Structure 1
């Protein structure tokens, strides 16, 4: 069965940190192999550290390299804080973060 047209969904709850990075990397890489598009729901994330951020960045790079799509959705306040602090919205192609920044620039 081809992965074309399939959309997978993964919800990450709790901490997105070094203690969970290995398991989350395995999970996301596996889902990206299975699906043409993967939605990662971050609404339940309570903490993000650099290892957790690296897992998301690796998943995004893998998706791009394999001509697949990774969408981050449902950003929790913890995720928004880190993405805004590091100005990562555009890198991830994340409309939720790009739109408010663009509107603020016009004001």
Structure 2
């Protein structure tokens, strides 16, 4: 997974795996980005693999955004993300 240090604070592009191996790292990144802006857009087009830990992370981020009255948008779902969302009926 790679993160570009030049990303604007209201955008987050995730590439590579979003699996249990990277969840803690990504949790810290997502929460820091949420703290920096009123709305955060998470681009998932580059996610090549996602597991239930990755889904739990995204749901936690959604709850954190709601609790702090901020907006979190998950956009550009990769095939891997869309397939797991469909399987788990997450919309």
Q: Same fold (TM over 0.5)?
A: yes
Instruction: Point out the structure with max Rg over C-alpha.
Output: 1
> TM-score w.r.t. structure 1 length?
0.76
- Report how far residue 50 of structure 1 moved: 1.0
The higher relative CO (CA closer than 8 Å, separation ≥ 6) is in 2
> TM-score w.r.t. structure 2 length?
0.89
Matched, 1:46 2:48: yes
Aligned pairs for 1:1-107 (under 5 A) are 8-89=10-91
Mark the runs of 5 or more structure 2 residues left unpaired by the alignment: 1-8
Structure having the larger proportion of residues in helix: 1
Residues 34-72 of structure 1 deviation map (CA, whole Å, 9 limit, x = unaligned): 110000000000111111111111000000111000000
- Whole-angstrom distance in 1 between the partners of 2:52 and 2:12: 20
Cα RMSD (Å): 0.8
